[in-house]
Amino acid sequence: MLYAFRLAHAGWILARSGAFGFADADAMPAGPARAVRLARMIEPRGLSDGERGRRLSDALNRLGPSYVKLGQFLATRADIVGAEAADALSLLKDDMAPFPTEEARAIVEANLGRPVDQVFSSFSDSIAAASIAQVHKAELRGDEGDDESDEAPETKFVAVKVLRPDARRRFARDLATFYAAARSVERWLPETRRLKPVTVVQTLERSVILEMDLRLEAAALSEMAENTSGEPDFYVPGVEWSLMGRDVLVTEWVDATPLSRLDAVDAAGHDRKKLAQIVVQSFLRHALRDGFFHADMHEGNLFVDAAGRLVAVDLGIMGRIGPQERRFLAEILYGFIKRDYKRLAEVHFEAGYVPAVHSVDDFAQALRAIGEPIHGQLASDISMAKLLGLLFEITDVFDMQTREELLFLQKTMVVVEGVARRLDPDFDMWTTSEPVVGDWIQRHLGPGGRIEQAGEGLAALGRLAGQLPAMAERAEHISRELDRMSEHGIRLDAETVQAIATAEGHRTRSERRAYWVIAISIAIIAAIFVSAL
């Protein structure tokens, strides 16, 4: 009942925002279609798509941080919410009112085990607040930090990220409501089971739980720093490991200009076209080369420093893809660039994403229908992110199962491309992507890549050969035990026999109680029946 009330409350707010106007009731079964039409009766009249998107964003912010996260996550699932709603949700900004500085100081003290004034000589009010945490600027005292030099320490400013005090409680409460809604959808709309609504909520849960442990974000910063140490145009802040807690993350302060302020970027003399290239090529390089990428690369998390480097912060949401998914991504992008639709189709079948009951040629035809319309257009009119979105739209026709890691990639591609186009309205996604993707294809799928793969195969065989003696010994032991059991039967030690006897006793008593309950219930029902006569 409580879940139903919460869902009804959220549904009312979303209906008043006009959110259900994004739904196509004509394409729905009768029951959901009636519900959508009823919901649309209470929305304001004459809403444009832009106004509807803005009101949806406001409604999710009003419902709370968990709904903001859900909205951002559903922006990756055009196959569930539809292309128009996904576009509206992709503009949702994780920008919340800050909580009091005194509460932040209390959380810092609890995590660091010391008063704030013993660690920092200054501690500002919040300078940025989101649904999970907020950030403060602070100055370390001279004896803090990782600097082990004997020289007099310089003034060192840091960014202090503090988890919201009620983040875990509110998310746990709302998550139960999301699960109730997802299970109801799967129960009453069987055709949605292919989209895995419950799995969507599970993925959201895992993502946010990881994001709410700031120690994991510190580890992500460290790993990304190692991966990108040789890149002259990309940087992530260093972590102050001596000042670490589950709810507090302290990193170096980087003086840089946010990409969200284009006027400031221009005033600092930065080349916006070059920055757009750096944003996209950095993302593709990290995804393809490392299989580890920043999955929340919007303007609020990206800065440019005085040297022209792209500085990325807020690594709470990271994406990982394995070798197979990297190859899939590279070949998909390269196939569309080269218009090789037959190879594109073969890649899907080789990866097992399309069931073998379908035809490679039929799937290649569907891919051609997606790819051909974009060729011959102006670079500013071609969106690779939308192309990938169209690719996922044909999943229903060819029985493709949802691949969460690929949806994460597509969502990040949408955001990254949007950042690049706002920096450079004439941005050419294809020309910018081709060097990174082509280099990866040449390295991993060319002659050199084949040799490298053969070497890895030989190394794996070598490791297996080293394990053969132990495997043979285990196999011999198992064989002896099977021979013994076949000859003498299975023997149990005294402790096991006693445990079985105890369990059997409990079971027998439980059965007797159950029989009595059934007998009494039958007697009561019989008495009621007789009295009624």
The full DSSP string for 363-375 is HHHHHHHHHGGGT
Pick from 51-65, 129-143, 146-160, 448-462 the range whose average pLDDT is largest.
129-143
Name the catalytic one among 94, 247, 296, 424: 296
Give the pLDDT score at 524.
Answer: 40
Other CB atoms within 10 A of residue 503 CB: 10
CB-count exposure of residue 180 (10 Å: 0-12, 13-18, 19+): middle
Backbone angles phi, psi at 472, to 5 degrees: -65, -40
Q: Tell me the pLDDT tens digit for each residue of 266-293.
A: 999 999 999 999 999 999 999 999 999 9
Neighbours of 501 (CB within 10 A): 10
Give the pLDDT confidence score for residue 392 in this predicted structure. Answer: 64
Q: Decide which of 425 and 492 is more confident.
A: 425
Predicted confidence band of residue 446 (pLDDT cuts 50, 70, 90): low
* pLDDT at residue 219 is higher than 60: yes
Mean of the pLDDT values across residues 502-520? Answer: 48
Closest CA to 192 of 411, 74, 29: 29
Rounded mean pLDDT, 458-478: 65
CA dist 158 and 156 (Å) reads: 7
pLDDT in tens, 97-121: 899 999 999 999 999 999 999 999 9
The yes-or-no verdict on residue 516 having pLDDT over 60 is: no
Is residue 237 over pLDDT 90? yes
| Among 150-164, 241-255, 278-292, 312-326, the least confident range | 150-164
Q: How far apart are CA 363 and CA 494, in angstroms?
A: 63
**What are the φ and ψ backbone dihedral angles of 382, each rounded to 5 degrees?**
-100, 125
Instruction: State the average pLDDT over residues 133-153.
Output: 74
Query: What is the DSSP code (8-state) at residue 290?
Result: I
**First-residue to last-residue Cα distance in the chain:** 37
How far is the C-alpha of 67 from the C-alpha of 10, rounded, in Å? 9
- Work out the average pLDDT over 179-196: 78
Q: Are 252 and 237 in contact (CB under 8 A)?
A: yes
User: What's the pLDDT score for residue 489?
Assistant: 58
Torsion of CA 445, 450, 452, 457, to 10 degrees: 120
Residue-level pLDDT at 100: 96
Q: Looking at the predicted structure, is the pLDDT value of residue 157 above 70?
A: yes
- Burial class from Cβ neighbours inside 10 Å (0-12, 13-18, 19+) for residue 487 reads exposed
Confidence of residue 500 (pLDDT cuts 50, 70, 90): low
pLDDT at position 83 is 65
Residue 140: its pLDDT value, please? 95
Residue with the bigger pLDDT between 332 and 241: it is 241
Pick 276 or 74 by higher pLDDT: 276
Reply yes or no on whether 174 is catalytic: no
Q: What is the pLDDT of residues 421-442, one digit of tens each?
A: 889 988 888 788 888 988 988 8
Asked whether residue 531 carries a pLDDT value surpassing 50, the answer given is: no
Q: pLDDT-derived band of residue 481, with 50, 70 and 90 as boundaries?
A: low
- Mean pLDDT, rounded, for 83-92: 71
pLDDT at 235: 97
For residues 318-344, average pLDDT = 85
In which band, very low, low, confident or very high, does the pLDDT at 528 lie, cut at 50, 70 and 90?
very low
Q: Which two tokens stand for residue 372?
A: 């051909």
Asked whether the beta carbons of 293 and 412 are under 8 A apart, the reply is: yes
Burial class of residue 451, CB neighbours in 10 A (0-12, 13-18, 19+): exposed
Q: What's the pLDDT band for 501 if we cut at 50, 70, 90?
A: low
Long-range contacts of 126-129 (CB under 8 A, 24+ apart): 126/98, 126/99, 126/101, 128/300, 129/95, 129/96, 129/97, 129/98, 129/99
Rounded to two decimals, the pTM is 0.73
Matching residue, tokens 């009249």: 45
Which pLDDT score is estimated for 433? 86
Which carries the bigger pLDDT value, residue 63 or residue 251? 251
pLDDT of residue 402: 61
